Amino acid sequence: MIPIAVPYISDAAIDEVEAILRSGRLSAGPRVAAFETAWASRVGCRWGIATTNGTTALVAALYSVGVRPGDRVLTSPFTFIASVNSILALGAEPVFCDVDLDSGNMQADLVAELVETVNPKAVLAVHLYGNPMQLRALRALCRAQGVKLVEDCAQAHGAVTDAGPAGSVGDAAAFSFYATKNLAVGEGGMVTTHHAEIAERCALFVNHGSSTRYHHVAFGLNFRMMEIQGAIGLHALAALEEGNRQRALNARYLLDAVGTRVPVVNTPDSVFHQFTLRIDQREHLADWLTRRGVGHGIYYPAIVPDQPVFARRFRGDYPHARALAHEVLSVPIHPRLSESEREQVARALRTFLG
């Protein structure tokens, strides 16, 4: 079975991890600090603050821009639940904006309308499937309205918006380095920001509010990254550009195979975290792919407000988001696909679509 994702861990990274294990220095150290600096530079920000995973990066980013209990945060209903759980973890209230069918990202006109009508403390802008949400106009609106803009870049490593690299446009941004991401560490996250006060607040928050050992000047939790994660991240960063280039080549190959027979949730400047089709025969296609040895995934089979844990909590009609949840199916796009595997995926799609 061709897997939907394969993380890239180089031999050099494996050797360095072994050296770290033998050294006994496992908690955050020089490699984490180097990864913070390198990733912030790659994104185009002044500061990077490493965390344990993408969810804690979201919580830290939102807290650091000032989100507190009772605040409203505007975000997408069509995303991984971590986007919404991070808002709820701070006692804030998510407000949802329907999405665009072509990109899967929030509709720009609806976001603008909601920013002006619901008075959110922040907008959490999700870049879905590696498709960068266009942020120039939204950033200007948020600044004019006194609303903080936070980017959810969990799927957008290396993507570029109309206002700059994803992760550099908002007041803060959160990245995930989960095993399936374009830059994979296994677990791990990062907050990026241009603002010194946000960076300082975030660094305190992820380290129990400690400015020096056993001296706690603010509220915080333990969201610290391990030294092993920092080392793997540095090696993975060196391979990101080539990996994204290969994803784009694989995507063009699959786009040719699909043609105009089914739409693809895509933007011209995507970094293709996922290659996602919209198809009303999803279950039939999933079975077809399985029988032909092609892995696949559904991201996501339900919108967040419809999850059982939120039964009767959220009300709203999000027709585009619900349509995508019933239609989307992703096939392998990762850079470690061999030519024969890529053709196997393309052939399976071509024959199914006839």
pTM value is 0.97
For the cut 90, the answer to whether the pLDDT of residue 327 exceeds it is yes
For the cut 90, the answer to whether the pLDDT of residue 257 exceeds it is yes
How many residues are there in the chain? 354
- What b-and-e string marks burial along 142-155, b requiring 16 or more CB atoms within 10 Å of the CB? beeeebbbbbbbbb
Contact 153, 167 (CB under 8 A): yes
**Burial tier of 108 (Cβ tally within 10 Å: 0-12, 13-18, 19+):** middle
Residues 61-111: tens digit of each pLDDT: 999 999 999 999 999 999 999 999 999 999 999 999 999 999 999 999 999
Contact 192, 177 (CB under 8 A): no
Residues 224-236: tens digit of each pLDDT: 999 999 999 999 9
**Gap between the Cα atoms of 353 and 285, Å rounded:** 9
Question: CA angle at residue 53 from 238 to 286, to 5 degrees?
Answer: 85
Give the CA distances from residue 302 to residues 103, 123, 213, 328, in Å, rounded to whole numbers and listed in that order: 17, 22, 44, 10
CA dihedral over 273, 277, 280, 286, signed as positive or negative: negative
**Gap between the Cα atoms of 149 and 147, Å rounded:** 6
* All structural domains of the chain: 11-234 (3.40.640.10), 240-353 (3.90.1150.10)
At 192 the three-state DSSP class reads strand
